Structures are given as structure tokens and as C-alpha cells.
Amino acid sequence: MATEVKLPEVGEGIETGTVVGVLVNVGDTVAKDQGLIELETDKAVVEVPSPVAGVVKQINVKANDEAAIGSVLLLIDEGATAADKAPATPTPADTKEAAPAEEANAAPVRDGSGAGGSVPAPSPAPAQAAAPTPAAAGATPKPAPAGGANGDHADHDRLVPAAPSVRRLARELGVDIKHVGGSGVLGRISAADVRSATSDAPRAIQAGGRPAAAVVPLPDFSKYGETTRSPMSGVRKATLRAMTNAWATVPMVTHFDKADITELERLRKRYQPQAEAVGAKLTPTAILLKVVAIALKRFPDFNASIDTETLEVVHKQYVNVGVAVDTDAGLLVPVVKGVDTKNMIELAKELGDLAEKARDRKLSLDEMQGGNFSISNLGGIGGTGFTPIVNPPDVAILGVSRAAVEPVWNKDTSGFEPRTVMPLALTYDHRLIDGAAAARFLRWICSALEDPFVVALES
């Protein structure tokens, strides 16, 4: 009996993923729960396990294909073994004939253009195939929103049939879900409808009623010289979506300050062997994790999120901090959970383990979710300052640049002294946090770094 292996739900709000690798071949005997497909979702790689034991009969995807939740990845002849049945690799003609029947049961496979459209795909498109133009991606007509053909304000208070995950997606993309036409039963709005609204400029409306910016097609660069194209990785696609949403929806301000970490560096080097004894490295970022955790307790508005639907502020009673990690695949942000409940050496060990998993692309989805605040430390690379971007629903992020020895005036000795100074930048959501509050928050962090005993007193 042939069993369809469909792409399961792999995380909240995730609708598609990119196939990184196929771990089996046609004719292979597989065990139940054996990994079949490696799938890259938003900044994580997960394995799709086999639901049954048997022989792989057919594989419908290949590396770099974009697959939607519910799409049929492969077929397994349940209970069979390679000795019982020698499966034949389907010819292209056989695959072409079988495709219409499979399409009837499989969820649509989305193209990799990011335009938001979805079309049934009998077979994966070649990697070199040109992405559809924005006009073509939005050409499929959608039912008009209930209450008016043009989606005017007459339907503003209507009941919107959409799942919570779809509503959240609409908020992240800056789309007013009340103005999105639903293509499902009784007008139910799907994630595809929301994404389609972002590529349909006349109907795409951002939060607050502002029209979304139209997609501007690129010029023909080939007129000027030779070009090549390469598909975006899943990490880069996720970054594109997140940063576009953040820039379009969050009014950001960045506040700068400097911390004299001369004494802190002396103590860090003194206690480094103690951390190394348990396989950890006492880095400035590990120390900052603890300092930030205390600051978030003292300044609860920085450990909060804005609910724009109910116009409420959600204050979290837990402290989870994301730390940006530079990897070959792009920027990944694992989350250290319960930072306020752990000491510096524990944080240093956990941070080191998460950073290694990030570089090896072994982070789970849970290890990348649930953050309240982020730290981005570029000090190991260089630079004197930068403006990090807030990652909604967080309301602030701390940027750290390279520390350097600078002459600092000492009023007690009436002279300059060489001191190690670390530049810090705090970007915050001005809808919730005012400039004075941001200045106090960052100044407290600087004071705690300058006098490490403060951390011992308040931790």
C-alpha cells in the first residue's frame, strides 16, 4: 500500500520551506521515523521523518524546491522491502502522466520568487527558470472583500474569518486583514490571500490604512553587461521578509552611549579559566546577557510587545534574549531562555553551544523562538558604531561595537587616562518607548558594565 508523505506543520506561522536535501533514493528501504527530507524553514533546518516503514516508491521533490505545507513529498510502499519489490524509477513521461492525479491531492507548491502567488506545479521548475513578474504573480483574481467591491471602509467592522496564525502574518506583513478577500470556504482568509495582498498594490493596505508600496520591477541589467542569478537561501528570504516588515511598521530611533569596561575586562580575564574549566568562554556577550536581563527587570517596557489590535502592552514575566550569530548561511538569532535565572558561566556555556549549533545549521525551531530582546555584537569584526534594526514583536535591540582604548579625562587627577571603552547602540520602538526612557535604560547598562559589583548586587 502506497503511503503519501506530506509536508507536516513544522512551526507556527510557517507555510512553506525549501528542500535542502533528499536523504533517500527510490528503492531504499526506510524505517519508521527515519529522516527523509531536510527542509529549510525560516532560519532553521529540520528533518521530515518517515511516518511508516517500507520502500521509497516515488520522490516528488529535489534540492532547492519550494514546498508548501501539505504537499506530497514522496510515496512509500508501506510494509514492503527491497527484496520483495524492486521499484522502478519513474520515467519523465510516467511522472508527467501521474502529475494531474497528484495535484488533486497535494497542496500547491510555491515558486521561489517570493511574490506571494501560488500555482499547482506538476514537477519542480528548473533552478534557472525565470521568476514570475510582480504583475503575473498577482494576476489571479481574488474575491472582493465582503461589504463592498472596492474594500472601502464600509466593511471595516465586519467579522474576519481567519486563523490566529493568518492574522499574525497579516500584522507582520503590514496588511490590514479587513481589506483582504478570502478565497476559502465562506470567504475564509488564508496565508496565501494575505501574501497575495502584499503583491497586489491597489488592494494592499498597511496597518493604519496607508497603501503599501508597489513593487518596482528591476531594469534590464543585461544591457550593460553579463549577469548571473542565484536563488535566495531560506535564511535570506526570512531576513528579507522580517527586515521589510520591521522597517515598514516600526518607527525606530537609535540612542548611543559608551561604557568604560576597563575594570570589567580585568575581571573577565581573571575568571576566564574558571569558565574554561566547564567548557565555556566568558565573552563580553555572555556578560552582557546577564546585565541586559537585570535591566529588562528594572525597565519592564523594554521586555514587552505592542498588541495593535487591542491597543494593549503585553509585559512578559520571563526573560529570553536572542543573540545574533554570523554564519555562512546568513544571520541567525538563537534565543537564550530564562536568562535571569542563570549565572554568567551557565550563560557563557549555553551561548557557546547555541552559537556552534547555529554555525552547523543544527538549531531547532524552538531554539530560535520566544525572544523578548536581542543583542547584536559586531565587536569581533570591527566598526565604531551601527544602528541595529528592531525585530518585531520585540521593542528594542542592543548593538555592540568594538571596544578600544581611548583617553578619558579623570577629574580626580586632572589628567587623561587610557581606558577601554565599548560603544553601545540601543534601537527602540518609539511607539512604546520614549527617548528619555531609552537613555535611562542604556545608561544603566553602561553603569553596570563600568561597576560589575552592581550585577552581583542585583542578580
List the catalytic residues. Answer: 430
Per-residue three-class SS string for 129-149: CCCCCHHHHCCCCCCCCCCCC
| Rounded Cα gap, residues 319 and 450, in angstroms | 23
Question: 3-state class of 98 per DSSP?
Answer: helix
Of 375, 395, 394, 378, give the one whose Cα is nearest residue 386. Answer: 378
Cα–Cα dist 389/180, whole Å: 28
> Among 229, 233, 240, which residue's Cα sits nearest to residue 64?
233
Cα 283 to Cα 280: distance, rounded to the nearest angstrom: 9
Q: How far apart are CA 246 and CA 253, in angstroms?
A: 13
Q: Which residues touch 244 (CB under 8 Å, ≥6 apart)?
A: none
Distance between CA atoms of residues 332 and 102, nearest Å: 36
Q: Distance between CA atoms of 174 and 202, rounded to whole angstroms?
A: 14
Q: For residues 309 and 162, what is the distance between their CA atoms, to the nearest angstrom?
A: 14
Question: Scanning the structure block, which residue is given the C-alpha cell 532547492?
Answer: 64
Cis peptide bond prior to 393, omega within 30° of 0: yes
